[in-house]
Structure 1
Amino acid sequence: LVLIGQIEAEGSWRADTMHSFSSWLASRERLSKALAQRTVGAARALREHLPATAAAACAGEITAEHVSIMVKATGTETLREKLAGPVASDTAAGPVCTGEQMLLGNAGTCKVDEFGKLIKGFTVSGDPEAQEKAFKDAVEREFLQISPTLGGMQISGFVTTEHGQAFNAALRAVAGVPAADDLRPADLRKVDSLVDLAHLVLDGGIAGKGANVRPHLSVHITWDEFTGLYANAHTASTSSTVSVS
């Protein structure tokens, strides 16, 4: 990414008469347009907003995964300001560093997954309004479609990360630990768990209220049968009454 950013800034790629640097990169490296655009965007973020990260990457102090994670922290102007802004040391006599340098200080002391969680926490706390807007936008894009297709039903949709994690947790809870002789593939076990979850809701009568239709049983009898049952029930109730004088 550092090299790609340098090539774009240097400008020699324009000699190939490409209308954009991402098009030039896609043609030269045989990349899809989408991947080339993402790569160029990450390279620009590294060149323009993450000087310490670029230096650490060139020195071999951090991996490509660390770089990709740091790029995610440059999504908004507020986050970029916090990355470039000064951060005081925990000790009064300690040096003052930038937010970017403070975050990079953890790259060598924790695993990549833990570093990713750290950066995620930074983006959430650093610009909560943007995170809330992103969540609301994702919620508005949620959908679930179950459509008939040849020989079955096709399920497709999109949910937020939080809802997807809840969905997976519910399926794992229903599926449990597969037995040693359970040779079903993981995808098939997930389908069976989804069906079991549906039956658990419907058979248990715990469906939602409001516009949802709760499970119910309809019994069809004639009017004469109904009046006969009512009369028998009324007679039984009267005969069981004890008079106390």
Structure 2
Amino acid sequence: MATTTTSPTGPAPLAREVRAAVSALRAGAPGVGAGGWSGEDREAVVAELDAAIRDLTVYRGQVLLAHREHGRWGSVQDRDFADYRSRSTGAGRGAAVGDLRLAEGLEAMPAVAEAVERGEVTLEHARALTRLREKSSPEVQGALADGGLDTLLERATRRGLTAPELGKEAKAWAARVDADAAQAEFDAVRRRRSLTLRSHAGGVAGEFFLDPVAGDELRIALEAVAGRPAADDDRTREQRMADALSAMASRTLQVGSDLGGAQVRPHLAVIVREETWVGILARRRRFASCPDGSRPPWPDVPPGQLEDGTVVPLGELERLMCDSELTRMVMDAAGVPLDVGRTQRTYSKELRRAITTRDRHCMWPGCRRRASWSEVHHITWFSRGGSTSLAEGITLCSYHHHRVHEYDVVITTLPDGVDFHHRDGRHIGTSARGDPGPLLPGTSAAEPPGAPQHADVNAGPPGGRPADVRTTSPPPAVKGGGAVASIRGAPPPRPHSPAVAQPLWDADLPR
């Protein structure tokens, strides 16, 4: 193929002139000094640079295709032209292949190349249409040549579609042209679906691949459960999404609607040795006898374990026990079960439903997560005379359930709601029962209806990190016969004392 140029000096000197012009621009108007330009100047310069990069990319693509077809390139170490470009530019094979595909698409679709040169669409629009043409069936490629491409370009310019929006529009158009091909492509993607979990860095890491529909379902579900962060929520978005995934799994285990055949409902099994159980109870009693002192150390007992041997530390074990079933199992020295006791549910399905129906949402002040997506928190400690009843259970989402345990929160039941305090008297807030307004699985509001000013739970216990306490009122007195519910608080009065209401103790342990 003969090469025609408009200059007797040849193409290479002209290309060098382009670089010289760029050098002159950088010397005469340094980019580091752009902060001193006017806004209009910056916008004008950026627009001109964008146009220059666009034009040069189109021109470079034309030269690259010609060089690949007729030029002498590479060496024996290059498998193909992409390898040669990868080595000569240092950008990697992926970038080289992408540049070549764009050049090929512009060559095969002159209308797109002309629209790019006129500035009607961008290079990213051209890449989206190139991907469509490259992966489409013969029927779709024929429809593109018979006017479909002009239709897509017209939609992009008339409606001002972004490149991702044009990509979606183009795929929808192609699916109408060849529905069978679209379904086959979706099925091929779905067959690649996978999820892997592995132990990593003391936790669990994983990877997954889903088809677009399942992926969007997962994203929407996680965002719905995560909701908007409450005023006291200091988690990152990534942490909230991780907690949302955990909440979804937890709800499946709690509700038990997805049964695997005629077996027990799905559950998380945690194995706890007898001395661990006794040690946690003893620590609770020690703390109850001296609520204003320092926290007792955790007992020197084995931690809990999942069935695969994964360690469950004592603090998390204590929280998990708050709403669980207990199965007594006696083993011999070799670890063989000799006797299995009867499983006792802390809350029956009916009682759980009654609590979630009453509370409607997580009872932490300001949280609006649905009760059905929350955990039932035991206010009463069984070893202190508590019983499994509607009055002694409240719903807390997983995040605030952790906070209650972490900060030794004092919970006071009221005739129309629940009050929360730090154990040193600082007020956290009040959550009222009743119509909470619209609820979504993970939606939070800044304040619950009728909730008073409240303190940030992140203030922490005395001696911890600096506090941002808005209200420092002491715990309210018993109102209207409401029972005082304290977590790790003072020893309870005698159950039959007529002068003081019976405190409700949270041992967070199964019965």
- What range is the shorter-chain TM-score in? 0.7 to 0.9
Higher relative contact order (CA 8 A, sep 6+): 2
Q: Is the 8 A contact 2:193 2:211 kept in 1?
A: yes
Deviation at 1:13, TM superposition (A): 4.6
Query: Which residue number corresponds to residue 174 of structure 1?
Result: 225
Query: Which residue number corresponds to residue 65 of structure 2?
Result: 9
Q: Is the 8 A contact 2:198 2:204 kept in 1?
A: yes
Matched, 1:142 2:193: yes
Q: Is the 8 A contact 2:252 2:266 kept in 1?
A: no
Query: Which residue number corresponds to residue 192 of structure 1?
Result: 243
The structure that has the greater radius of gyration is 2
Residue identity matched to 1:14: R
Query: Which residue number corresponds to residue 44 of structure 1?
Result: 104
Distance in 2 between residues matched to 1:212 and 1:40, nearest whole Å: 57
Counterpart secondary structure, 2:204: strand
Query: Which residue number corresponds to residue 113 of structure 2?
Result: 54
Query: Which residue number corresponds to residue 122 of structure 1?
Result: 173
Q: Is the 8 A contact 1:13 1:24 kept in 2?
A: no
Q: Which among 121, 142, 145 is matched to residue 81 of structure 1?
A: 142
Q: Is the 8 A contact 1:8 1:21 kept in 2?
A: no
Query: Which residue number corresponds to residue 104 of structure 1?
Result: 153
Query: Which residue number corresponds to residue 164 of structure 1?
Result: 215
Counterpart secondary structure, 2:156: coil
Query: Which residue number corresponds to residue 22 of structure 1?
Result: 82
Residue identity matched to 1:65: E
Deviation string, structure 1 residues 205-237 (Cα, Å, up to 9, x no partner): 1225449862376866999x99xxxxxxxxxxx
Q: Is the 8 A contact 2:111 2:150 kept in 1?
A: yes
Instruction: Give the alignment's TM-score, normalised by structure 2.
Output: 0.38
Deviation string, structure 1 residues 107-126 (Cα, Å, up to 9, x no partner): 21222154333212112222
Instruction: Give the alignment's TM-score, normalised by structure 1.
Output: 0.75
Counterpart secondary structure, 1:146: strand
Distance 1:59 1:190, change over 3 A: same
Give unpaired runs (5+ residues) of structure 1.
86-97, 227-245
Distance 1:20 1:219, change over 3 A: closer
Distance in 2 between residues matched to 1:212 and 1:116, nearest whole Å: 47
Distance 1:4 1:213, change over 3 A: farther
Give unpaired runs (5+ residues) of structure 2.
1-56, 268-324, 330-337, 343-511
Identity of aligned residues (%): 28
Provide the aligned C-alpha RMSD in A. 2.8
Deviation at 1:8, TM superposition (A): 3.3
Deviation at 1:171, TM superposition (A): 0.9
Residue identity matched to 1:160: D
Deviation at 1:104, TM superposition (A): 0.8
Distance 1:136 1:187, change over 3 A: same
Distance in 2 between residues matched to 1:212 and 1:159, nearest whole Å: 29
Counterpart secondary structure, 1:106: helix
Query: Which residue number corresponds to residue 32 of structure 1?
Result: 92
Query: Which residue number corresponds to residue 229 of structure 1?
Result: none
Deviation string, structure 1 residues 194-214 (Cα, Å, up to 9, x no partner): 111111111011225449862
Distance 1:139 1:220, change over 3 A: same
Residue identity matched to 1:47: E
Counterpart secondary structure, 2:105: helix
Distance in 1 between residues matched to 2:263 and 2:126, nearest whole Å: 47
Matched, 1:64 2:123: yes
Distance in 2 between residues matched to 1:83 and 1:116, nearest whole Å: 14
Q: Which has the higher helix share?
A: 1
Residue identity matched to 1:9: L
Distance in 1 between residues matched to 2:262 and 2:88, nearest whole Å: 56
